Amino acid sequence: MQKALLFASVVASFPLLAKTPNNIGIYDDTYFIGSYTNNINEQAYDASEYEELSDLMSAEAKFQFSVSVPLVRLGGMNALMGSYTQKSLWQVGNTEMSSPFRETNYKPQVFMMHQGNYPLFNSIEYGYRHESNGRGGDISRSWERFYLLLEKLGGPLEYGIEGWYASSLSDNPDIEDYIAPYSLWMAVNGPTGTIKVKGSFNYDTHRGGVELGYSYPLNPFVNLYAQLWNGYGETLIDYNHHQTRVGLGLMLHAGIFR
């Protein structure tokens, strides 16, 4: 808990900016929610060396933090960037199991970012990302991706489309049967808050996942945040596991930097 409070105080000491090639910014949604899933993924741990994770609670905390930083500024709104995103599922109320973090996904990226007035979009990214859960044995999950992301950021309507090529799938060779090689997102910003939807669907296997979020500003720094997830691939351990999750908590508010 002390580490979490220290991290929050450090974050609050910086201007909270949306991702930009000219400054440190929040790269992806950064939030902490209490949540409930209708289908906790116990079977992933039953046959593994992590037998202590075979009696899980359906109620758990879910949080994500994400930050980007320019590594080499190239003039104007162009830069070689680095980012780090971490998503965790925490059995905080499961005191009989010592409240373990049952899954954490680590996602560092190196990429080029260009922001400007392009047709339909104002931000372009392309680069490399690694994502893994840092585990071994039967519950190790990881993949490498080269990606292209086109986005329209700022204003009442925001959206993005991303495609990628995946490699190094030995831990989960069938992951693309459940998570299609693209994702879409759209957000509507209004006086009563922001509604955001993102997800993907594999038309060959008829599998996919979608996340719906609603955020309402409480002050210049923090939003009330509600989230609904349905489908496959919420985290790497759940890439082939279907569930519905609902959650409520807080999200850091990222202002637009222009």
User: Which residues form the catalytic set?
Assistant: 130, 132
Write down the pTM of the prediction.
Answer: 0.90
Residue with the two structure tokens 């292209």: 148
Residue 151 within any structural domain of the chain? yes
How far is 28 from 239, CA to CA, in rounded Å?
20
pLDDT at site 52 = 66
Residue 135 within any structural domain of the chain? yes
Instruction: Report the domain count for the chain.
Output: 1
Indicate which CATH number applies to the domain containing 85. Answer: 2.40.230.10
Q: Which two tokens stand for residue 180?
A: 């299609």
State the 10-residue block means of pLDDT for the chain, 258 residues long.
44 62 94 97 80 83 96 95 98 90 97 95 97 92 97 95 92 93 96 95 96 95 96 96 98 65
pLDDT at site 257 = 36
Residue 258 within any structural domain of the chain? no
Residue 182: domain span: 2-252
